[in-house]
Structure 1
């Protein structure tokens, strides 16, 4: 699968917001797991990300909806901390990909504030109105547009992405932490995992896994505050000599508590032999 790039800024009527909207639409079309709606105006029917951090009622509804989905899909009621962790995981993965996706595809890093994201808690869907605040490199056609910030080089752009994600998710981690029964290091480990895994997923669906692994490694080559660890990919050799990329999560996503026999493939509880069995089965 390929994705159109570099065309969003053609023509005098194009704005920074419309350029970003085009990237989001392409991103959502390619990423089946990304349940995001692109809106032209902010919908008022659903709470935004900022409301989750200041309203206990909104946060409880967010967690309650996840608990209901777990009961429906897995046939049992989860612990409250598990439902909180799973709800947080879904938010972190989706919103991080809304920032890392344009970076990976277009070398642009949007700044998404918590109030820019609305959450349809019943559908586990997110709604966003594309803004015009993003960072790019000097050779980007959007560099002269209002709201667009130019940075000097690729590492500066990576720093923009790390900061954009950290600034967005920090307040939510603090709000959800007590309900998820996790301390800051574990919460930021979860944020790092979801940032890395979103890029990895995008590379796989575009048949660019090696490129995505390299990009995620360059983004988090090690722990860079507030993220406590790096992407830390490694390769596992299969029976036919193929080498599969894998990594071990820094923070548990708690899926093993829902389906004990189906822990996620990057779970610290899964040995490399089991990972290889799964990978070769998928291949």
Structure 2
């Protein structure tokens, strides 16, 4: 049976067990993504299609191969060649969106924040399969997981939010360094993209969990606008639909550059999309 948010997950005596139930719940509501926690003696997969996060961070041949998939997808779906920086932006999004969920979903569901350095994560994008090794995690004092090996107890919710941001930054920082030279963006723009991945990934999954409003409040507290290197706030605001209904939206801190392929079809949270178009896109067809 699915675990309600914030209830302690069943435990065994390893750090990895602190997050496995959160990842199982993620797979239930979003079957296109599977996060598998490796045992201490289990090797990370390295077969066809697999790439280690540390390889993406290195910015070499493995990143070239990773981005070749995005380039081929653009040619297949849109019949045109995208600029190299656009391809790199798509590739970063398709890695960073699921990678951020490795941190934010256990935090949102069980108030546990794993540390996931790039050396401990691998990704198979075709199957939506991530593997990771969890050696350490942060939790609150009243969490039963505080007794597990690798647990690091923090004082309160504010301290745990700081752990979320630190864990994502520890993982994404090297990845941004790997992608950065191909994207023609400075540090601030890259961290704007990271901010968007943190917010929009959890926002989407929380909607599937039936907890969209709680996620919006949690993300606003997580990103109040003063948490460098992240850029800006969670950016949520409310629009009014044609029948007076509330339509949540947000303003992205960055642009994904999709408009370079389809100028008339910008994303609903794109800074280029006006409110009238957002209302139209967010309102179900009659």
Normalized against structure 2, the TM-score is what? Answer: 0.91
Q: Shift of residue 37 of structure 1? A: 4.3
Within a 5 Å distance, the mapping from 1:1-283 to structure 2 comes to: 3-4=3-4, 6=7, 8-10=9-11, 13-32=12-31, 35-38=33-36, 40=38, 41=42, 42-45=44-47, 46-120=50-124, 123=126, 125-281=128-284
> What's the RMSD between the two structures over aligned residues?
2.0
Residues 154-196 of structure 1, C-alpha deviations (whole Å, 9 max, x = no match): 0000000001001111111122111011111110000001101
Give the distance between the partners of 2:152 and 2:194, measured in 1 at CA. Answer: 25
Compare 47-56 and 171-180 and name the one that shifted more: 47-56
Give the distance between the partners of 2:8 and 2:162, measured in 1 at CA. Answer: 25
Distance 1:50 1:270, change over 3 A: same
Unaligned segments of structure 2, at least 5 residues: none
Q: Shift of residue 130 of structure 1? A: 4.2
Q: Secondary structure at the match of 2:284?
A: helix
Give the distance between the partners of 1:257 and 1:36, measured in 2 at CA. Answer: 31
Q: Secondary structure at the match of 1:143?
A: helix
Q: How many residues get paired?
A: 279
Q: Shift of residue 2 of structure 1? A: 5.9
Residues 100-137 of structure 1, C-alpha deviations (whole Å, 9 max, x = no match): 0110111111111112221225x173421342411110
Conserved in 1, the CA contact under 8 Å of 2:23 and 2:35? no
Conserved in 2, the CA contact under 8 Å of 1:99 and 1:109? yes
Distance 1:159 1:90, change over 3 A: same
Conserved in 2, the CA contact under 8 Å of 1:99 and 1:165? yes
Q: Shift of residue 66 of structure 1? A: 1.3
Distance 1:252 1:124, change over 3 A: farther
Unaligned segments of structure 1, at least 5 residues: none
Normalized against structure 1, the TM-score is what? Answer: 0.91
